[in-house]
Amino acid sequence: MLTNDQRHTLIQIANNARKWSYAPYSKYHVGAALLTSSGRIYEGINIENAAYPSSMCAERVAIFKAVSEGERDFEAIAIVTENGGSPCGACRQVLSEFSPDTIVIVANRQEHVLLETSLRDLLPYAFQPGDLAIPSTDDL
């Protein structure tokens, strides 16, 4: 269960991270703070690129940083944008790879929470690692 102090800390960290966002094209600065089950918090920012598909969302930056350091279980993620935009589908899918029960907090730059829900509710029927199971020839 996420405490009020943890929630507040995550939102503050995500909001502060926005200052490092690289968004020269959209001007839409996003910060994320990911709390892992070990208690560590990983920050992420969106990083745009002139070749738009090469850009990366703040949420995935935080997730990839955590995973690259051995973390695989996430408790909560806070995402802060100017207007409280929700995570994109790709970010939802990446989160579901590791922790489908992650709490997702969406806040605006004034740190007002606009949404707090589970990832399962944001991405019902997510494609999960178990969906890659190869059926036996008897199942065909």
Task: Flag whether the pTM goes above 0.75.
Answer: yes
pLDDT of residue 69: 97
Domain count for the chain: 1
Active site residues: 59
Residues 6+ apart with CB under 8 A from 63: 34, 42, 44, 74, 77, 91, 94, 95, 98
Digit-by-digit pLDDT tens for the chain (140 residues) are 899 999 999 999 999 999 999 999 999 999 999 999 999 999 999 999 999 999 999 999 999 999 999 999 999 999 999 999 999 999 999 999 999 999 999 999 999 999 999 999 999 999 988 888 877 666 65
Nearest CA-CA partner of 82 in 117, 64, 55, 58: 58
Residue 53 belongs to a domain with what CATH number? Answer: 3.40.140.10
Domain limits for position 88: 4-139
C-alpha to C-alpha distance for 21 and 83, rounded to whole angstroms: 15
